[in-house]
Structure 1
């Protein structure tokens, strides 16, 4: 009975998340002038080849997620199969989509890898290193986009400087803390304690000790992961290269949607940069799937390209990059649970 209640609660949370996100999209479509009419007009002239390219780019991102996890898994266990890594990646996409701040993705990947036969410590190392490498590549990618497209977006996007500075600063601080912690745990502890006490003095942090314990435990995960994974430069470079391709393909999806609408003239590099900024800004929205924040930031950065077709573009973009993750991630979660039940019963 308790197990059934737990499952019901988990499913109810997913349902509420989906209703919330769909409700936001429908609100935009039905309450903005010409939203539905524009969608109907575009549907008649939609270039399906470009739309297929957007779908294939999303599928390629799924495969690359599995590939990156598999590179790290095979470093620990040479006989590890790609199918297991791919399943773990898809389950990670599912729980990232239905939990606030995408906090459920990494723990569920660790749980999945452990259920597949990997040692818990190894599973934690794989997921921690994968997360850190992806975060580093994302920040470097964003810095490159800022360097090359700064003037363009400052001119065309309201509050661009504030949004990018907050996003880049937060991510850079996190990465710097992790790296410093790996190099010198004592130095990091002193900096962390001093910073939290200073914030507490200015009434910006209510419980500095509790906050310290939480941050320290998170940093410790990466520290332990780096020791277990070792110092293999070719391995990390391979994962970084794959992550860069993954981010590029994901960032091309809005451009493919743009071309499927029979629109021309926009720079592909500018649209890639816009999607990178959308990803960084929406990551700080506390709702599951960044609901509301993802749509708003897409509107902010892509409104100048899609103009009156911006809301149909948001709908297609969310279908391909968000709802598909839930549907297909759910399928793999169901298959994985069945396989584990069969294995346990043997």
Structure 2
């Protein structure tokens, strides 16, 4: 088999995924617009605002790595930022090319193990990061809803229910993780009862398998927090950084908005629109939320871009999705060559000052 064929076979799923997402994007792109019209619009874009949009996106990648670095340092005080940046880009890359963003976390744990981190510690880092992100996203979304919900009810009322449902789903999951720490048996019995009931009315298929999948995830989060310990100061810092990261990431849309020489909308309302849009797109099972991302962006941002919505959608998707894939491949490839197989900066140091079972002398 030739080298080219081996590369194709190895990356077949990613190639199919990107092909599907590109077809969906092209369908949205050429509805009512010709190539000539789009070309003339793109030529008029503000270069400075587009550079700022990319710089803003890059800052969110740096902050992703910074959060990973803070959590990894809890176990390895000399863990380098470069390793953490590579792990953050790994999560973004594989989340973009797998359904429901399911590939990001396993691949992060895989690469952290390849860098010498113990499996329990890498799982703890990713679990804590995931749940703190969800808590932060919910709280931030509630603030946005409180300040901007009347505006979006008026302009995108058909998707308001989905947005609230998304927040409610996250809250239920967060509460379930907390309750597992208090009374796991009660949570598991309640979960089994609910899933069996939904199975009887044909809302949930194979409730038994769904139950096993959910409790495995809940147990993983519980074990992660147990391994990490009650370092509330660290969790608070991570949450605060995540708030800034979400706001900065969502402001990319505002930079694109200004690149089209538009200025009537405020930065805050466009951040709210993008956060709402992302929550709706998260329900789509295709990689990168394809289809859902385009529909939700159109629904929430049409009021800002009006007749420039289609070219704005193209620029936004190329920058935030395909840009993440391209640069993710580059940074992950460089990081893998530099860090994979290399020993961690230092041996594991128990944050509570106790010797772990693996470190006790025989």
TM bucket normalised to smaller? over 0.9
**Mapping of residues 301-312 of structure 1, within 5 Å:** 301-312=300-311
Deviation at 1:208, TM superposition (A): 2.6
Q: Taking structure 1 as reference, are residues 328 and 269 closer, same or farther at Cα in structure 2, changes over 3 Å only? A: same
Aligned to 1:116: 115
Q: Match for residue 138 of structure 1?
A: 137
Superposition pairs of residues 100-115 of structure 1, within 5 angstroms: 100-115=99-114
CA shift in 2, pair 1:269/1:81, >3 Å: same
CA contact (8 A) 1:282 1:290 kept: yes
Counterpart Cα distance in 1 of 2:302 and 2:255: 15
Q: Which blocks of at least 5 consecutive residues in structure 1 are unaligned?
A: none
Match of 2:184 in 1: 185
Structure 1 position 79, deviation (Å):
1.1
Aligned match of 1:13: 13
The equivalent of 2:172 in structure 1 is 173
TM-score computed with the length of structure 2 as normaliser: 0.89
Determine if contact 1:125/1:224 at 8 Å carries over to the other structure: yes
For 2:127 and 2:6, the matched residues in 1 are separated by 27
Matches within 5 A, 1:326-337: 326-337=325-336
Give the C-alpha shift of residue 202 in structure 1. 2.5
* 3-state DSSP of counterpart to 1:159: helix
- Quickly say closer, same or farther: Cα 1:342–1:153, change in 2 above 3 A: closer
Q: CA deviation at 1:325?
A: 1.1
Q: Deviation at 1:162?
A: 1.7
* Inter-CA distance 189–266: structure 2 relative to 1 (3 Å threshold): same
Equivalence map 1:181-260=2 (5 Å): 181-260=180-259
Would you say 1:314 and 2:313 are equivalent positions? yes
- Inter-partner Cα distance in structure 2 for 1:38 and 1:269: 30
Indicate the structure with greater helix content: 1
Indicate the larger mover: 8-17 or 266-275.
Answer: 8-17
Work out the number of aligned pairs and report it.
Answer: 342
Q: CA deviation at 1:194?
A: 2.0
Distance 1:204 1:317 in 2: 35
RMSD: 2.0
For residues 273-284 of structure 1, what are the structure 2 equivalents within 5 Å?
273-284=272-283
Deviation at 1:193, TM superposition (A): 1.8
How far has the Cα of 1:143 moved from its partner? Answer: 1.1
- Tell me which residue corresponds to 1:27: 27
SS in 2 for 1:179: helix
Equivalent-residue separation in structure 2 for 1:321 and 1:59 (angstroms): 10
In 2 relative to 1, CA 343–238 (structure 1 residues): closer, same or farther, beyond 3 Å? closer
Q: 1:173 to 1:35 in 2, by over 3 A?
A: farther
Q: Contact 2:114 / 2:341 at 8 angstroms: preserved in 1? A: no
The 1-side partners of 2:136 and 2:5 are apart by 40
Farther off after superposition, 334-343 or 264-273:
334-343
For residues 26-67 of structure 1, the C-alpha deviation after alignment (integer angstroms, 9 at most, x for no partner) is 22222x223534432332322122111111110011001000
Secondary structure of residue in 2 paired with 1:226:
helix
Q: CA deviation at 1:270?
A: 1.2
Counterparts of 2:194 and 2:171 in 1: how far apart (Å)? 16
